[in-house]
A and B are shown apart, each in its own frame.
Chain A
Amino acid sequence: MIGEWLDIGWLQEIPVRGSRTIPVDGGEEIAVFRTGDDKVFALVNRCPHKGGPLSQGIVHGHSVACPLHNWNIALATGEAQGGDKGCTPVIPVKISGGRVLICRAGALAAAA
Chain B
Amino acid sequence: MTHHIDRPHLVVIGNGMAGCRAIEELLARDPNRYRVTIFGAEPHVNYNRIMLSPVLAGEKSFDEIVINPRDWYDGNGIELVAGDAVAAVDREARTVTARSGRTVSYDKLLIATGSDPFIIPVPGKDLPGVISFRDMKDVDAMLAAAASGGDAVVIGGGLLGLEAAHGLTLRGMKVTVIHLMQTLMERQLDEAAGWLLKSELESRGQTILTGADTAEIVGTDHVEGVKLKDGRVIPASLVVMAVGIRPSTALAREAGLAVGRGIQVDDHMVTSDPDVLAVGECVEHDGNVYGLVAPLWEMCRALADGLVEAPTGYRGSVTSTKLKVSGIDLFSAGDFSGGDGAEDIVLRDASRGVYKRVVIKDDRLVGAVLYGDTADGSWYFDLLKKQEDISSLRDLLIFGQAYAQGGGQADPKAAVAALSDDAEICGCNGVSKGQVVACIAKGAASLDAVRAGCKASASCGSCTGLVETLLAVTLGDAVQAGPKTMCKCTSFGHDDVRREIVAQAMRSIPEVMQKLHWATPDGCSSCRPALNYYLLCALPGEYQDDQQSRFVNERMHANIQKDGTYSVVPRMWGGITSPQELRAIADVVEKYDAPMVKVTGGQRLDIFGIKKEDLPAVWADLNAAGMVSGHAYGKALRTVKTCVGSEWCRFGTQDSTGLGVKLERGFWGSWMPHKFKMAVSGCPRNCAEATIKDFGVVCVDSGYELHVGGNGGIHVRATDLLVKVTTEEEAIHYAAAFVQLYREEARYLERTAPWIERIGLQYLKDRIVEDAENRDTLAARFWHSQSFSQDDPWAERAAGQAREQHAHMAAFNPIREEEIA
Q: Which residues of A contact B (CB under 8 A)?
A: 2, 6-9, 12-18, 20-27, 30, 32, 35-39, 50-53, 56-62, 65, 67-68, 70, 72, 74, 76-77, 107-108, 111
Contact = CB atoms under 8 A, between A and B. Distances in A.
B812 A24 contact: yes
Contacts of B814: 24-27, 107-108, 111
B799 interface: no
A58 B528 contact: yes
B809 A7 contact: no
B337 A25 contact: no
Given A22-B811, A60-B520, A70-B525, A9 B560 contact: no
A67 B612 CA distance: 14
Nearest to A65: B525
A77 B552 CA distance: 23
Interface stretch (B3-11, B56-64, B178-186): B178-186
Given A9-B810, A22-B812, A23-B808, A61 B338 contact: yes
Nearest to A31: B809
B711 to A, nearest CB: 22
B528 A26 contact: no
A81 to B, nearest CB: 11
A12 B180 contact: yes
B113 interface: no
B812 A39 contact: no
Range, interface on chain B:
35 or more
Pick from B342, B525, B612 the residue with the most CB of A within 10 Å.
Answer: B525
Contact of A37 (B186, B523, B525): B186
Contacts of A65: 524-525
Interface string B538-565: 0000000001111110011000101110
B562 A50 contact: yes
A2 B811 contact: no
Contacts of A68: 560, 562
9 contacts: A8-B819, A15-B804, A25-B816, A52-B564, A56-B555, A56-B612, A57-B525, A58-B552, A74-B340
A65 B552 CA distance: 10
Contact of A20 (B340, B549, B809, B816): B809
A111 B814 CA distance: 8
Contacts of A74: 340
B144 interface: no
Contacts of B580: none
Nearest to A59: B548
Contacts of B344: 61
A21 B808 contact: yes
B532 to A, nearest CB: 11
Interface centre among A16, A18, A23, A36 (most CB of B within 10 A): A36
Interface in B327-354: 336-340, 342, 344
A97 to B, nearest CB: 10
Given A26-B815, A61-B522, A77-B340, A18 B548 contact: yes
Contacts of A27: 814
Contact of A36 (B522, B805, B813): B522
Nearest to A111: B814
Q: What 8 A-B pairs have minimum CB-CB distances, sorted nearest first?
A: A65-B525, A20-B809, A67-B552, A76-B340, A17-B548, A8-B810, A25-B813, A58-B525
Contact of B338 (A12, A14, A62): A62
B818 interface: yes
Contacts of B267: none
Nearest to B819: A6
Given A20-B804, A21-B809, A36 B191 contact: yes
- B interface secondary structure, majority: loop
A46 B819 CA distance: 22
Given A60-B520, A61-B338, A77-B340, A22 B810 contact: yes
B545 to A, nearest CB: 13
Nearest to A14: B809
B812 A23 contact: yes
A30 B812 CA distance: 10
Nearest to B336: A37
Contacts of A62: 337-340, 342
Interface in B167-210: 180-183, 186, 190-191
B757 interface: no
A57 B524 CA distance: 11
Nearest to A50: B562
A52 to B, nearest CB: 7
B809 A22 contact: yes
Contacts of B521: 36-37, 61
A100 to B, nearest CB: 8
Nearest to A112: B814
B68 to A, nearest CB: 36
A55 B549 CA distance: 14
Given A6-B819, A8-B821, A76 B339 contact: yes
Nearest to A58: B525
Interface string B782-821: 0000000000000000000000110011111111111101
B213 interface: yes
Contacts of B821: 7-9
A95 to B, nearest CB: 11
B570 interface: no
Q: Which of B339, B342, B523, B550 has the most CB of A within 10 A?
A: B339
A65 B550 CA distance: 12
A61 B520 contact: yes
Nearest to B546: A17
A6 B182 CA distance: 26
Contacts of A21: 808-809
B529 interface: yes
Nearest to B547: A15
A15 B545 CA distance: 14
Interface in B501-526: 520-525
Contact of A60 (B181, B213, B525, B564): B525
A13 B563 CA distance: 25
A57 to B, nearest CB: 7
